[in-house]
Amino acid sequence: MKILVLNSGSSSLKFKLYEDKYPIANGVIEKIGEHQGKTTLQSLKTQEKVSLDDPVPNHQRGVEMIESFFRQTGFLKNLNELDGCGHRVVHGGKNLTKPCVIDDKVLKEIRRVAVIAPLHNPAHIIGIRAMMEAAPKVKNVAVFDTAFHSSLPEHAFMYALPYDFYEDEGVRKYGFHGTSHSYVSKKAAEFLGIEYDKFNAITAHLGNGASLCAIENGKSIDTSMGFTPLEGLMMGTRCGDLDPAIMSHLVRILHYTTEELDVIMNKKSGFLGICGHNDLRDVENLIEQGDQKAKLAKDMYIYRLVKYIGSYFAILPRTDALIFTAGVGENADDIRKLVCAKLAHLGFELDENINKGLRGELKLISKQSSKVKILIVPTDEELEIASITESLIK
Ligand code: ADP
């Protein structure tokens, strides 16, 4: 089966083409709508690669470019030959709680939810529509970042605000990175030989955006991101948890608008806000040069991770595994070491010899004596979307 996975942003289109769950092509079209585009398309079978800076006026044109690349590489004559197309959709709201084949009703709901995901859902709709127009015969499937967290119990997803905000405005914790938390926890259970519906784990998706998830019997019971992907851990450019009264204070004292506050909290905070760099590798370089703010930023990051993992350890009746994934989780051995060292008294014993220098490999990295198994599981959200799409259209 040939499945295309699309991730549409407001000015970008990322894709991966699978043949029987094996990736054969991928690419990204950026700067859509700008005077100069940035396109990279590559075949993973032949290493044939196309890099272009021609302007890409809209997503429709982007989809056409993907189609002509597939024709050029011989993968497909046209997009109608696809068996299905899976779309990453960030927010499903409270009604779209499972991946589904997209019809008018689903599109309408994704649009309705856009009010609480203004940066993502409108862009997804543009991408889905472009695909529907280019390949009317192909079934489209939506896979929601929020879906895995639809099992959160009420006491975990409610905020202690007036109840009407939940009923009237849908204000509640939704959680994100669900496709990743679900994928890596299933992989880990399989690797450890534990039935998934009896598996308890804490998954740490640590990329530029970062979130944790507490999983009991294969179901998400809590997660650190909330109503939006801002809550929780300190991230590359996002502040994570803070006292909400700080925002009203800044409005009163410095007269910021809500839009400005959104930009500060989402794009100018986290590692970037504390030490001027959002990429952990740059932060590590600064620390080596003796930069105190970079050291502080890393200490804050570790502290919050430990605090959150500890709280999930407390709410789970038993923790079988701690799973590290995404850019930082898969690559930064020092972060894994520092976090686990602080959790040692709870039974998290890292084998430092295995951990050291390990990157992007599915591996058990705890000592045999460790009460909680510690693993690295490389995430693959696109493969998960392709697999779900395949099973839904079959
Ligand atoms: P995104 O959230 O954008 O999908 P990724 O999961 O790709 O992010 O993670 C990107 C982040 O991973 C980078 O910003 C960087 O901080 C971190 N990272 C990637 N490689 C390494 C590495 N070798 N050592 C430390 N950190 C790394």
What's the pTM? Answer: 0.94
Structure tokens at 4: 């295309």
Percent of the chain with pLDDT over 90: 97
Residues 138 and 200 in one domain: no
- Cβ of 218: how many Cβ atoms within 10 Å? 18
Q: Are 236 and 270 in contact (CB under 8 A)?
A: yes
Residues 16 and 85 in one domain: yes
Query: Can 145 be counted among the known catalytic residues?
Result: yes
- 152: in domain: no
pLDDT-derived band at 203 (thresholds 50, 70, 90) equals: very high
Query: CB within 8 A of 150, min separation 6: which ones?
Result: 92, 97, 98
Q: Which residues pair with 374 in a beta bridge?
A: 322
Residues 25 and 88 in one domain: yes
The atom number, within ligand 1, closest to the CA of 284 reads 25
Report how far residue 365's alpha carbon sits from residue 282's, in angstroms, rounded to the nearest whole number. Answer: 25
Report how far residue 382's alpha carbon sits from residue 99's, in angstroms, rounded to the nearest whole number. Answer: 14
pLDDT digits over 151-184, tens only? Answer: 999 999 999 999 999 999 999 999 999 999 999 9
Question: For 59-75, what is the mean pLDDT?
Answer: 96
pLDDT-derived band at 345 (thresholds 50, 70, 90) equals: very high
Residues 120 and 215 in one domain: no
Residues 23 and 82 in one domain: yes
Judge if the beta carbon of residue 41 lies within 6 A of ligand 1. no
Residue 186 pLDDT more than 90? yes
pLDDT digits over 21-36, tens only? Answer: 999 999 999 999 999 9
The atom number, within ligand 1, closest to the CA of 208 reads 2
The atom number, within ligand 1, closest to the CA of 206 reads 6
- 85: in domain: yes
Residues 124 and 228 in one domain: no
From 274, 275, 280, 355, give the residue whose CB has the most ligand 1 atoms within 8 Å, as the site to mutate. 280
Residues 19 and 131 in one domain: yes
- 172: in domain: no
Q: Which residue has the tokens 């979307």?
A: 385
DSSP 199-246: --EEEEEESSSEEEEEEETTEEEEES--SSTTSSS--SS---S--THH
CATH at 115: 3.30.420.40
- 46: in domain: yes
Question: For 46-67, what is the mean pLDDT?
Answer: 95
Distance 348 CA to ligand 1 centre (A): 24
Residue 290 pLDDT more than 90? yes
Judge if the beta carbon of residue 327 lies within 6 A of ligand 1. yes
The pLDDT of residue 312:
98
Residues 121 and 239 in one domain: no
Q: Which domain holds residue 31?
A: 2-144
Residues 128 and 264 in one domain: no
Structure tokens at 357: 């220098």
pLDDT digits over 346-379, tens only? Answer: 999 999 999 999 999 999 999 999 999 999 999 9
Judge if the beta carbon of residue 207 lies within 6 A of ligand 1. yes
- 369: in domain: yes
Q: Are 58 and 8 in contact (CB under 8 A)?
A: no
Structure tokens at 315: 């709410």
Distance 331 CA to ligand 1 centre (A): 8
Residues 21 and 115 in one domain: yes
The atom number, within ligand 1, closest to the CA of 236 reads 14
Mean pLDDT for the chain overall:
97
Q: Of 172, 76, 140, give the one whose Cα is nearest residue 66.
A: 76
Judge if the beta carbon of residue 279 lies within 6 A of ligand 1. yes
Report how far residue 27's alpha carbon sits from residue 93's, in angstroms, rounded to the nearest whole number. Answer: 29
Per the structure, how many domains does the chain have? Answer: 2
Residues 261 and 326 in one domain: yes
Q: Which amino acid makes up residue 344?
A: A
Positive or negative torsion for Cα 176, 178, 179, 184? positive
Which residue among the candidates 145, 222, 333, 380 is catalytic per the annotation? 145
- 181: in domain: no
The pLDDT of residue 375:
98
Query: CB within 8 A of 282, min separation 6: which ones?
Result: none
pLDDT digits over 74-117, tens only? Answer: 999 999 999 999 999 999 998 999 999 999 999 999 999 998 88
Residue 143 pLDDT more than 90? yes
